Amino acid sequence: MAPTGKNTAIIKQLAAELGFHYCGIARAEPLDEDARRLEAWLQQGMHGSMDYMERHFELRIDPRKLVPGARSVITLLQNYYPGTTQRADTPKISKYAFGKDYHEVIRSKLNQLLSQLNASIGEIHGRGFVDSAPVLERSWALKTGAGWIGKNGNLITAQGGSFFFIATLIVDIELVYDSPFAKDFCGTCRKCIDACPTGAILDNKVVNGSRCISYFTIELKDALIPDEMKDRFDNWMFGCDTCQDVCPWNRFSRPHMEPHFSAIPEILNLSTREWEQLSEERFRSIFKDSPLRRSKYKGIRRNLSFISTAGTSVTGS
């Protein structure tokens, strides 16, 4: 086997041993078509107050500028679909936030993978990214054959649906490249479009991020949620999974096997009233390693107040 083939096999084997559901590889090159789409999306203001999406544009569309000497882009998928569900009277929290913050969990795995590759293959320079840097991870997932982009903007895999974290490892060695995923199996289905509580999903695979419940409950910092969204949140307190929950492809989802993603008991069981009575000290203790830290105590109380039937019964702190 040629060195590129041998190295590729080593990468995929080590990725599987670390618990990644999928590993695909593409050549590091500019994403010209994606750049045009991103630019149009930004110009229409669909990113709302997420100004960070406007920064480092050139780095987002060319991995060689993000990682000097880059030759290959490795896409890795990590299943996070939970085997447990929330109580019916509990404010809804997106499934990705049930357990420990995925940034920390997956970043550790990426570091392990890069270290093991250096030991197995030789000196490799590279950087790993997981939803915290200017990387168009869904575009790379498509180019590496992982799946297709659904009408809700999520990567969908034919074997396991869409409840996956996407990680990207950019390295400076030539490898054997996978073929892009060429088909779109959404067809005429409109379930995600029709089910979106705020009408954020448009009928051309574009999501207006500034109308998404996840944007309002997580990204909208230190600001009031617009009154026009009243009664549209369907009891979502942190994030939103509606477009994924209704997707027919997620009937293939299977519970993850990652212990760090095991649900925090309070997320599954705290009633609305118990959330209202939760002190800041206890919130910080329970959710110290949770994605809920992004909204902070003040943000969670704002969100809870917005969705609560008690209306103004909860005040910010």
Q: Is-catalytic flag, 131?
A: yes
CA separation, residue 91 to residues 73, 83, 229, 233, 265 (Å):
38, 18, 17, 11, 13
User: Exactly one of 34, 89, 101, 131 is catalytic; which is it?
Assistant: 131
Mapped onto helix, strand or coil, the DSSP state of residue 106 is: helix
- 42 neighbors 133 (Cβ within 8 angstroms): no
Q: Positive or negative CA dihedral for 12, 16, 18, 22?
A: positive
- DSSP, res 207: B
Classify the phi-psi angles of 72: left when phi > 0, otherwise alpha if psi is within -120 to 50, otherwise beta: beta
The string of DSSP codes covering 114-163 is: HHHHHHHT----EEEESSSSS--HHHHHHHTTS-EE-TTS-EEBTTTBT-
Residues 6+ apart with CB under 8 A from 70: 28, 63, 64, 126, 170, 171, 172
Q: Residues with catalytic annotation?
A: 131
